[in-house]
């Protein structure tokens, strides 16, 4: 029995990918928790940006929305959504956290609809918001998501946010900046990345106690494996203490169960 939850493992794993001095656009929930944790541990000079205009805050508590006043607390600037997007257009933002109801083998994301008939979908989802802009213009896309076959699909019903589209060269052919695209997908089972040559998703590390077969069974497409396949480090006790007591003491994101 581990002394941490799968959500805590996901957040701690995501925080490790944010290096000191980087700039990251975050929303609320687990991505914000990961960015806060990184800022309080290995990346004290990490600059957080929020879609509503907060730049470089030192968050005192977990915000409940991207427009929460806490997203401006002791920040470098209180600006606008337009300025945040312009910062991305200038190539200044290293990372963005995104998500969706579906993700495919090339990292394309769907947060628009379930069902391919746009006029008559099975489910209408919230839509893009700023996700398309961020996924198109930030250098690296990070995704935090549960791992199941309904989310990891062969083909998205609708491409809200472009990943590598149909494969190598497709982003560039669509007019998107070279060198941008999906980077890591952190789930409750594994950390996944993308093969440089094919741009297809691959397993890079398995979380403690997770078998590769389980990851494959809960994925709706053929999943490649990077060799050597690694094991995701378990969260250190000191990091968990910071996550639980400083980042999310009310347990809004990490929950109360162990």
- Among candidate residues 51, 204, 230, 246, the one labeled active-site is 51
pTM of the model: 0.95
Q: 205 in a domain, yes or no? A: yes
DSSP string, 168-189: TTHHHHTTPPTT-EEEEEE-SS
* CATH number, position 236: 3.40.1080.10
| E-strand stretches of the chain | 23-26, 47-50, 54-55, 77-78, 95-98, 102-103, 109-110, 113-114, 123-124, 140-144, 181-186, 190-194, 201-206, 224-231
Q: 1 in a domain, yes or no? A: no
Over residues 103-126, the pLDDT tens digits come to: 999 999 999 999 999 999 999 999
d(CA 254, CA 72): 23
Number of domains in the chain: 1
Amino acid 257: pLDDT = 45
d(CA 67, CA 41): 25
In this prediction, residue 255 has a pLDDT band, given cuts at 50, 70 and 90, of confident
Give catalytic status of residue 51 as yes or no.
yes
Name the one residue in this structure whose structure tokens are 């669509």: 174
d(CA 137, CA 180): 7
Over residues 184-216, the pLDDT tens digits come to: 999 999 999 999 999 999 999 999 999 999 999
Q: 252 in a domain, yes or no? A: no
What does the pLDDT average to over 64-71? 92
Structural domain containing residue 164:
6-247
Over residues 3-45, the pLDDT tens digits come to: 999 999 999 999 999 999 999 999 989 999 999 999 999 999 9
As to burial, measured by CB atoms within 10 angstroms (0-12 exposed, 13-18 middle, 19+ buried), residue 37 is: buried
Q: Are 87 and 93 in contact (CB under 8 A)?
A: yes
d(CA 44, CA 42): 6
CA 84 from chain centre, in angstroms, equals 18
Tell me whether strands 102-103 and 109-110 are parallel, antiparallel or unpaired. antiparallel
């Amino acid at each position: 029995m581990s002394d941490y939850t799968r959500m805590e493992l996901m957040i701690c794993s995501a925080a490790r990918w944010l290096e000191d001095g980087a700039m990251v656009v975050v929303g609320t929930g687990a991505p914000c928790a990961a960015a806060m944790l990184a800022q309080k541990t290995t990346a004290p000079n990490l600059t957080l940006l929020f879609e509503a205009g907060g730049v470089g805050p030192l968050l005192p508590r977990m915000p409940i929305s991207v427009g929460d006043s806490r997203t401006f607390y002791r920040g470098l600037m209180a600006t606008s959504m337009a300025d945040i997007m312009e910062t991305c257009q200038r190539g200044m933002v290293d990372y963005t956290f995104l998500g969706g109801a579906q993700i495919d083998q090339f990292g394309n994301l769907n947060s628009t609809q379930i069902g391919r008939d746009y006029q008559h979908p099975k489910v209408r989802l919230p839509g893009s918001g700023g996700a398309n802009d961020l996924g198109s213009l930030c250098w690296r896309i990070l995704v935090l998501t549960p791992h199941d076959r309904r989310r990891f699909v062969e083909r998205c019903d609708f491409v809200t946010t472009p990943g590598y589209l149909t494969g190598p060269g497709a982003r560039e052919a669509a007019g998107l900046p070279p060198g941008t695209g999906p980077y890591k997908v952190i789930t409750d089972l594994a950390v996944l990345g993308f093969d440089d040559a094919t741009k297809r998703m691959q397993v890079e590390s398995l979380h403690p106690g997770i078998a590769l077969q389980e990851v494959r069974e809960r994925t709706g497409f053929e999943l490649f494996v990077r060799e050597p396949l690694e094991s995701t480090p378990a969260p250190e006790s000191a990091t968990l203490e910071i996550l639980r007591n400083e980042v999310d003491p009310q347990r809004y994101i990490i929950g109360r169960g162990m």
